[in-house]
Structure formats: structure tokens, C-alpha cells
Chains A and B, each alone.
Chain A
């Protein structure tokens, strides 16, 4: 196989659970001598005292280091190679971001420390906020939401508060059938009914359908742009006009902002409110599923409804948190959001500057188009509309041989890559959603393309090799049905024997 120059197996150690290494008397901690009189916990706590911590492990430091180091080698990260997970924007995580986020004065700052000792932290929040407003073309912002979906919740609560202030919160939110699952879930929490909006043959919002569906019961349209096909909604100005003409608002899911930064601004094309995913566009690490950060930016008319608190600059240049905002939707999270992610995102923006941010977007779009060009025909391209930062193929050709998108994904692992996003967006049956990001060199892209071509070839000639994939991993094709039917969600001592 031509992709074989990439794929190799490597030595991985077997490693049980940390509990299975435990035995009484082993320890990895040492506390300083107590400099106050010892206490009798029994006397202080009475019935509230705990004497036993159950099956918590007892292990030494070297065992901890080996355990988690070995586990780490079972993982695939952006550091390992191309991670083309569409819509997730798995880009390089700069090490300087990690370094500055751990600086003592920032990492150890207490959120309730006196304001005058917090000026540096507040300045970081203010500077990041200003940069994000410029990048999005919006007019006000909160950094408080802890992730994209939390940003959606914040944004839709603001929409609702804005409409309520005008006398009617309205009843429903329109969501295209290509949207992320978080969008409908968010609308439901905010008390809205979800109405599906069909995409047209080009994979975009069907403007005439929108025109028919839009009425005074609609609070907002939640639109991802570019959408989950990686397609820019070319009629965005018409979409905004249709919403606005009937008093609704345009919410933009900013998950795909990596395709737009420095090239176009949602505020300029009449988006009213949007969230950003700092862990996508601004390179804060995904960390195996978080932490993220989902700032929400909005137009001036929505500013009074931003969650508490908001950073404000005083006449003397000092900064403080403003809690005196009677129209606010309230607080969406304790303290001020995922500050550590704000530090990293700002470090990323500073490392790029205006020229670097634009070049990043251009390279991301260039990479996706390059993959599209080289794999078109090998895999079916259901939508011919121009591609931005990601491209969605379907498995139709391969499915005819019994090979589905999930199988191709598993086989890709043997070729040394993380799979693309499978089976999403829902409007493409058997979708293969590929987002290379700007972090990939031409050499890495070529290797990936060769692997995808080789797999297509295998689908023709020896589909079983794909159906049995992956072949090179520690485990292969976990029984997910069994896992859900009889959930085993924690370790118990009896499992030690069973595992042997």
C-alpha cells in the first residue's frame, strides 16, 4: 500500500487501571510538618467525620508517571499527526501559549483578589475582547461562556431578553438541517420550539423557504457560516434582511470562524449575535474534550443583556468588573469564564498579528481545497459549491462495496492518521467531513491524500481489510452496543480478577 511509508506500529506497554497497581502503604505525597496544633477530627466533626476513602488508589510517584505516560501513548493528538476532524478545527497548539498561561501571577490569581491586584488579568480580558470585536466586526462581547454550546445558550438567552424587552420573546428558533446538535439543544433550554430549515441543492439555506417560514413567531435563525459543509452562505445579506424585516435576529454559530478571520467579518454581513470557539479558531487546546471557551459577541442593541459581570475601563485607565447592569440575562458561570483559555487565545493572536491571522485563514482554505481537488472522483463530492476550510465527501461509491464512512475512518487509523468526522452533517448520507486546518504541510497533506486513495482502492479490491480495520491498534472495534446495553461506568475490586 502506497501510504505505508507513514503507517508503522510501535511498542505500547500494557497498562492496567491505576486501582490495579494500588497496595496499602504506597504513597506519592509528602506534606510539610504541621505548624499548628494537631486536631482531633472526631471531636471537631463528630458524625460528619469520614474514616475511610474506599478504593482510592495507593501508588508511588514513578507508577503515576509511568501509568499516565503509557496511557498517553495510546492517544492520537495533533502533535502525532494530521487530525482532520471536520468542524472541530484541530490546529497546532503553540507551546508558548501553555507557558504563559502557567505564569505564576496569572495561573495562581484568585478571582476574588482585590481589584488593584487584578489589573494585569483584567487587561488581558480587555485586550482579548478588543481583538475579538475587531475580528468579528461586532460591538460588544462577553468572555464568560465556558464552551461553544455555553456561548450558544448565552447568545440565545440574550436574544430572548432583547425580544422580551420589546414585549414578546416569540416562540421558535429556526435551525438548518445541517446544524450542529448543540443548536437545537440550546434553543430548547431557552424555551424555544425548534423549527427545521431545509438546505437547498447547493447545501445552503434555501432563501425562499426561509422567506416562507419566517414570521413574527420566529425569534432567531441559528446559522453556522461557513456551514457544516464548509460552504459560505453566499446569500447571507438576504438571509439577514429576511430575519430583520420581521423583527427576528440572526445568530451565527462561529464554530467555523477559522475560514473567515481576516477575510470577512460577521458584523459586516449583519449578524446580530455570535459565539466563537477559542479552542478552535484561536488554538487553545482541545484537551481530549475540553476545556473550551465560547465568547459571545453582539451588536450594540444587545449589549445591555450581556451576562454579568462585564469588564469596564474607568476614566483613569484602570479596569473593573461592572455588575450594575439591570437588563443583564444574569450570570452564566461563576467568576469570569475560562481565563486560562483567554490567556492562550490572546497569546495566539499576538503571535500572529493581522498578517498572520489572514495568512492562517488563507492556508486553511487552501489546504481544504487541495484535498478536495485531489480526492474528488475518488470519493463522491455531493455538493459542488465552493469549499472553504473543510470539505464533505460521501461514501456512496464505497458503500456500494459494503464499505461505509465509519469503516474508512477505521482504516485511516492504520495509515497513521486520525479519522475525519464521520456521518456528519446529517444532510449528507455517509458523510466524510475533512478539515485539515492551516497547520498541515503539503507533505502531510499528500500522505493523507495517498492514504485516502489507497483505501478507495482497497474498497474496490479487498473490502474486508477495511471492514476489519484498524489492524495496528491496541484494541480494534470496541463493542459499543454492549457498552450501552450493560453499562460498566466504574471500576470495582472484583474487576481486578476478571481482568487477569
Chain B
């Protein structure tokens, strides 16, 4: 076994030292009837060449060589090669949670940088060192709002990613939190009137997403005003982080629940991604997840360590803010490197390219089909309603090696043949033109 560094004689010597006759002596306290006396029925040991070939074959015949208009919570941005070059350093990816600060300053400092960048981009004062993903950050934010307000209901916009809403429902099903949904208006924004009607003295938080699932940018301050007037917190979900390069940050939010996948994390068939919570300083003790703080060592030198761990499960056990332990540290590092590459100006230019591609595409689609929700600004996703079933259109596009938009009827049956299209800086004009061409006018 090429991963095991002991020779048979090493094993012999160690058993002798222990005073055991054979390795089985070390397992003899497992009751005999439960000892497995046969080989596991898993594939035989493979050579490295076979493993590579096995996965190459599984990876073939996928959409990798297609142009794609899929977004819907997973965005296909270019990943600068320095990201993998750096996260492949063993000191980063083979390290554990930085409990021993002296030999984990690399991880700790990079997390501190991540926290800072997230604050700069979201307009929040503190950010944690990551959650599992955007979808699980949402229930964590709602439960956090409940702790802060002492209230137990949430109003959630139907324009929040449908799968995020499903995860929220799963998480809160046993803690008595009532979740009411608020619909959307003709401009694709959450219906402010519906939010107004749904919010009560029991509402801990209003949850909206911006840009929302349709790609529409919400009127964050208007919704904040409604929530705050009734003493509820505003949770703003961000599923497309690159939007922060050109879209005003949700500064009126009390909690931002974000998915940072767009910042240099591969689509990876849905994971691993990188959730983040960011909030106001005064709420930090109610925020779950890991935090890194700056401090001094015994010689007065600047250094970093994990802090405020009295919120966490290993200290507080059943009274913790959350059960999260392992987070997404390496993915957060990818995001930090991505953000270092693009930085203050690059992120703006990147976001502007996304905006331009989608504006062009929506304009072209508009010549052959109906682009819905035109009355509010959007970032790089838009909804197209076609005469024919979008699955039919997508089947034709596949023959041209194009993966079309995401048919919405699965989550929004009322939208009929509408589908959600996404353009990023990676989308080529010729693909847009080819896709539009395929729409039956």
C-alpha cells in the first residue's frame, strides 16, 4: 500500500514492543460476532494510472466543452491560475483548524484578510470565517435573528433561491419558527406590500436576496425600512458575490448571508462552496461560526488567533449559537486569493463585463421572446419567456453544444415557459447569438 510508510519488519518490531503476538490482538476487544472476517466488497486496489483514467472517463461526456447559460446560484467565472497554485501548497490544504496559533499564522492571517474583504464588500462590520455554503448560511442567519430579537417568525421573499428556502424550512422545522413567504411583483422584485402585510410583532427577520433568483436587484433600503419599522432585522442573501463589484452593497442589512462561490471557486457539480455571514459589531456574539482576531503575543508582536469561541459548540455545547464546526476554510482562502487578484478596480471591471454581456443578451432575446421583469435593474441574469417549452429549446441548443437557461417551472409553475439565463465574462457573443437564433420566434 503506497500510502503506508511501514515495512513488515517495522510492524513486527512495534508489535513486539507492545507485547502483542499479532495485529488481531489489538482488535480482540471487539466482540467476536461483530468482527469482519472477510474482505470488504469494494473495488480492488487500483494503480494511480487506473484511478486517473477512471475519473477522466467519468468526467468525459459532461458539459465541460459546452457554452453554458446556467447560473441560478452557481456561477461560472474565470478562475485565475494562481488560486490553485497557492491552495495546493500542503501547508494550507493539509492543515487543520488553527487551534495552535503559533504554527497556524498563515491560515489565521489569511482568514483575517478574508473577514476584512467581506466587510469591505458587503458594508458590514464583522464577517465570520465561513459557513458551509449560501443555502445553510440562510437558516443560520434566521436563527441568529431570532436570538437577537427574541422573536420566532421569518418573512422570506419568494425571490430567494428556492433551494435556499427549502434548506431554511428543513433547519427551522423544530424550533417553532414560522416562515411566511412574500411573493414578487411585475418588476421581479419582492412585493413590498406583501412584505408589509406579512411582517408582524412576531417577525424576527425579513429575508430577501439581491440580486434575487431572477437576477433582479432588490430595493434593499425600502425593504429595510419596512422590516425595521416593525422591529425586525433585515437579512440580505447574496448568491452572486461578483455583483458586489458594481451593485451597491446592502448597507441597510443587519445580517448578510452570502455565497462566495463566484470568487474563484469551481462550479464543482454544486460544491464545495463557501457560505459567509456578516453583520453589525453589536450582533457579533450571536453570530455562529469561527472568527479570527488580531492580538499581540507575549513579546508584543502582532499575531492572530481564533476568538470569541465561547459562542461555539466545543465550549458551549447545547447552548452554542450553532452546531457548525468544520467550515470551508480552504475555499475561503480561494476567495481571498481571487479578491486579491481582482482587487478594488478589477472586481469593478469584472462586474461591469458581466453586466454588459447580460444586457446585450437580454436585448437580443427581447427581439424574439419576452424578457420578463424589465421594470427593475438586474445584474447578469434575466428571465426569458418563450412560446415553446424551454426544455425543447434547450434540447436543440445541446446539439450546438450550448447549455441553455434554467427552466423555471420546477420552482415557479406560474411562470410557464420562462427560463433563467445567465451571462458572465466567460460568455461569448457568438454563443449568445447562436442561442437567440435557436429561439422560435
Contacts and interface: CB of A to CB of B under 8 A. Distances in A.
Contacts of A312: none
Nearest to B334: A287
Given A351-B45, A359-B4, A18 B293 contact: no
29 contacts: A36-B360, A44-B355, A44-B359, A50-B249, A53-B244, A53-B345, A56-B344, A72-B89, A75-B107, A80-B91, A88-B96, A96-B51, A104-B59, A108-B266, A109-B64, A109-B267, A124-B58, A134-B42, A181-B325, A182-B325, A190-B174, A191-B174, A268-B36, A291-B331, A338-B272, A351-B45, A366-B15, A385-B29, A483-B294
A131 B44 CA distance: 11
B296 A479 contact: yes
Interface stretch (A152-160, A392-400, A458-466): A152-160
Contact of B346 (A27, A73, A184, A185): A27
B52 A99 contact: yes
Given A78-B90, A169-B174, 18 more contacts: A37-B356, A50-B249, A68-B337, A106-B58, A120-B58, A150-B324, A153-B171, A182-B313, A190-B174, A265-B34, A330-B170, A333-B133, A338-B272, A340-B272, A350-B50, A351-B51, A353-B44, A442-B10
Interface in A467-494: 470, 473-480, 482-484, 487-491
Nearest to A441: B5
Interface residues of B, number: 200
A38 interface: yes
Contacts of B341: 28-29, 61, 64
B441 to A, nearest CB: 21
A341 B97 CA distance: 17
Contacts of A355: 1, 39, 45
Nearest to B103: A76
Interface string B258-286: 00000000111111100000000000100
B438 to A, nearest CB: 15
A408 interface: no
Contacts, number: 695
Contacts of B248: 45, 47-50
Given A34-B356, A354-B44, A479-B295, A68 B86 contact: yes
A67 B343 CA distance: 15
A27 B271 contact: no
A326 interface: no
B96 A289 contact: yes
A118 B269 CA distance: 9
A149 B97 contact: no
B308 A112 contact: no
Nearest to B249: A50
A141 B266 CA distance: 25
CB-based closest 3 A-B pairs: A105-B59, A335-B270, A287-B330
Contact of A263 (B14, B31, B36): B36
Contacts of A189: 143, 171, 174-175, 322-323
Contacts of B64: 104-105, 108-109
B106 to A, nearest CB: 4
A479 B329 contact: no
A120 B60 contact: yes
A77 B92 contact: yes
B55 A106 contact: yes
B116 interface: yes
Q: Identify the interface centre among B35, B62, B93: most chain A CB within 10 Å of its CB.
A: B62
Contacts of A26: 343
Interface in B103-122: 103-107, 109-113, 115-117, 119-121
A100 B52 contact: yes
Interface in A247-268: 261-265, 268
Contact of B52 (A96, A279, A366): A96
Contacts of B80: 28-29
Interface in B16-60: 17-20, 23, 26-31, 33-36, 39-46, 48, 50-52, 54-60
A452 B106 CA distance: 26
B360 to A, nearest CB: 4
Contacts of B246: 41, 45, 49-50
B106 A74 contact: yes
Nearest to B117: A56
B36 A262 contact: yes
Nearest to A119: B61
Contacts of B439: none
A357 B84 CA distance: 29
B297 A478 contact: yes
Contacts of A366: 6, 11, 14-15, 18, 23, 26
Interface string A152-193: 110001001000000001000000000011101111111100
B161 interface: yes
